[in-house]
Amino acid sequence: MAKSSLTNALVIFSAVLLLTGAAPGATKKPTPSKPSKPSATKVAKKPTPTPTPAPLAPGELPLAAKSAILLNAKTGDVLYEKAPDEMRFPASATKILTALLVLEKGDLDQKVTIQVEDTKVEPSALEFKPGEEYTRRELLFALLLKSANDVALALARDHAGSVKEFAEKMTKRAEELGAKASHFMNPHGLHDPRHFTTARDLALIARFAMQQPLFREIVATPVFSMMRGDEKVLFKNHNKLLGMFTGCIGVKTGYTRASQQVLVSCACRADCEAISVIMHSDKPGIWNDSKTLLEHAFEKLGAGPPPAPPAKPAVPAVPATPTPKI
């Protein structure tokens, strides 16, 4: 009887445990929750301050170029200079000297037949085909306006028989003009560490070239056209300063990664003429620097401000038509 009572008691106890969810061994320890990570607070970035340019020394002009020079084109006197004798790469400003040698040889209506070796250059090429023929005069316009490197090769070969011999003539002619710190390896200015000049030398070469009437005409020409077979091809002058600065009449742009931006400029005002050379500048700099230099030249030469553009003629007022009486 006692055994039966004990059994009944155990059954009742188990039932109670099942009803309360507290069966032996079924109780689990609560899993501690992981503390949530605090959200990252975004810190506002402070704007990078614009570096303050170094103050200019007395008489110094605010130029981006690493080298520059300004000449009185008529006398050759130096009006301003900045590191004018440091070695620089001229890029396509090289073509000023290339054109000068071709002009000095003359016979500009002589035909030049394009050869295969003339076409093996890039960029700035006209994509000539071997066997095409053009006059030296036409090629000079393409050389100085379009800055075509294949044209430079064709003119060099036509002039001296090979690029190597032409480059030797370039260096010799530069020395004769007083540009003795220069050495040339090709007629187009594509980078070669042995192909270099200075701002002073480049100004001397440009000043002499601008004394040649046809050179002067070419570099002041905004647009030139010539025939390629049955097709008319237009060349626009790369020198944007022609339309940006009143009185600008040339000369030549240039760019490679090594040289950065190069610009040789010439401008006239009130019977004064100035030549500026900008070397190793940036894209806005070649235009801004050149304008700064040329304005400085005209101020020193007493040329005054540029002439005001002519006033537009007044449009006459149209008289009112009287209303007819009825």
CB-CB contact of 263 with 241 (8 Å): yes
Contacts of 281 (CB under 8 A, 6+ apart): 63, 64, 65, 66, 260, 261, 262, 263, 289
Question: Hey, what long-range contacts does 212-215 have (CB within 8 A, 24 or more apart)?
Answer: 212/100, 212/103, 212/104, 214/103, 214/108, 214/137, 214/140, 215/99, 215/100, 215/103, 215/144
| Rounded Cα gap, residues 149 and 121, in angstroms | 7
CB-CB contact of 103 with 216 (8 Å): no
| Rounded Cα gap, residues 235 and 124, in angstroms | 12
- How far is residue 245 from each of residues 70, 105, 217, 302, measured CA to CA in Å? 16, 33, 17, 18
Place of tokens 């970035």: 45
Is the C-alpha dihedral spanning 301, 304, 306, 307 positive or negative? Answer: negative
- The catalytic residue positions are 92, 95, 147
Burial of residue 194 (CB within 10 Å: 0-12, 13-18, 19+) is exposed
State the Cα angle at 191 between 186 and 195, rounded to 5°.
55
